[in-house]
Amino acid sequence: MEKRELVIIGGGPGGMTAAIYAKRAGLDMVLLEKSAYGGQILITHEVENWPGTKAISGAALSEAFREHAEHLGCELRKTLVRGIEPGEKRHIVKTDSGDIEAKAVIIATGASFRRLGCKGEAEFIGSGVSFCAVCDGAFFTDEEVAVIGGGNTAVEEACYLTRFASKVYIVHRRDQFRADKMVCDQAARNEKIVPVWDSVVESINGDGVVEGITVKNVKTGALTDIPVAGVFMFVGTLPNTAFLHDDQLDRAEGGWIKTDGHMRTSIPGIFAVGDVRETPLRQVVTAAGDGAHAAMAAYHWIATLQS
């Protein structure tokens, strides 16, 4: 069986940063990624909040992470992780290309946005359809946009978008938001926010870029076209933890992995970083910070096993 000091699962910003810090610390490591390196930023048209870079495409930033890691000698491997068998001092990472015994494991598998599944959604991702107001809100300055959802995240992000957009429609299938009262009151006071009650999105329309949405009233069946330049989806997010058993690690509501400030999970020697863990903010910069913390925590954990 292959043996490593550290296995990193996931090649997004958190995983890549962990790999860079681990390699610089002299750890024998390998990063495992099932598909494309970069994670969710691959679907981000432009990133304007990465420090030191005025603007860069998500794909270009992902490539920069990969090139940096490989320049330092990090081993990056494409394979699907099927599970983890925790041990007292060693953990077995089970993959399609064989099992790996590791002294420490960093889980950096990220999260996936819930999709509506409506016509045009997949087509316009990165061309008007977004899942992150903080990432993309500034691109819609003085434009009209739509937010889909009615929970805390949807209403809070709609309020945030009014800093840029001239009007923000909130499309919700019920006749009142599910968000907390304080959040709802804030939205009600904002003249830029227009609720679209009892409605669901039938289609996202446009020619190359988003130009509008068609919504259906769930009570009357009536269809209405709303011209917008952007559509922000906030109908939920799911942690990418299908490869883990439900009882392996302590979880928060929604399945997010609980960690402490050093990214340590409930199992010694297993760490979690970025969007997969319980955290109040899911951004490239926070995932990268998590990765640095986890790599150094893993380094100190491995050192205790050898002492």
Residue found by looking up tokens 């041990």 in the block: 87
Residue found by looking up tokens 């359809």 in the block: 129
Cβ neighbours of residue 239 closer than 8 Å, sequence gap 6 or more: 109, 110, 111, 254, 255, 256, 257, 275, 276, 277
What confidence score (pLDDT) does residue 40 get? 82
Range 37-57 average pLDDT: 85
Q: What is the pLDDT of residues 236-255, one digit of tens each?
A: 889 999 999 988 999 999 99
What confidence score (pLDDT) does residue 111 get? 93
Active-site positions? 132, 135-136
- Interhelix angle 152-161/181-189, rounded to 10 degrees, is 30
Rounded Cα distance, 193 and 170, in Å: 7
CB 267 within 8 A of CB 86: yes
What confidence score (pLDDT) does residue 307 get? 62
CB 107 within 8 A of CB 9: yes
Rounded Cα distance, 195 and 188, in Å: 9
What confidence score (pLDDT) does residue 42 get? 82
What confidence score (pLDDT) does residue 47 get? 83
Name the nearest CA neighbour of 23 among 59, 85, 64, 68.
Answer: 68
- Interhelix angle 13-24/58-71, rounded to 10 degrees, is 20
CB 169 within 8 A of CB 161: no
Rounded Cα distance, 177 and 149, in Å: 8
Residue 55 above 90 pLDDT?
Answer: no
What confidence score (pLDDT) does residue 246 get? 84
What confidence score (pLDDT) does residue 192 get? 98
Residue 84's SS3 state is strand
Range 34-47 average pLDDT: 83
Residue 104 above 70 pLDDT?
Answer: yes
Distances in Å between the Cα of 258 and the Cα atoms of 30, 251, 284, 301 are 24, 5, 19, 18
Q: Domains in the chain and their CATH numbers?
A: 2-112+237-306 (3.50.50.60), 115-233 (3.50.50.60)
Q: State the DSSP string of 189-257.
A: H-TTEEEETTEEEEEEEESSSEEEEEEEETTT--EEEE--SEEEE-S-EEES-TTS-TTSS-B-TTSPB
Rounded Cα distance, 194 and 217, in Å: 15
Residue 41 above 90 pLDDT?
Answer: no
Phi, psi values for residue 192, rounded to 5°: -80, -15
Amino acid 190 reads N
What are 89's two structure tokens?
Answer: 């001092």
Q: What is the pLDDT of residues 134-183, one digit of tens each?
A: 889 999 999 999 999 999 889 999 999 999 999 999 999 999 999 889 99
Rounded Cα distance, 180 and 257, in Å: 24
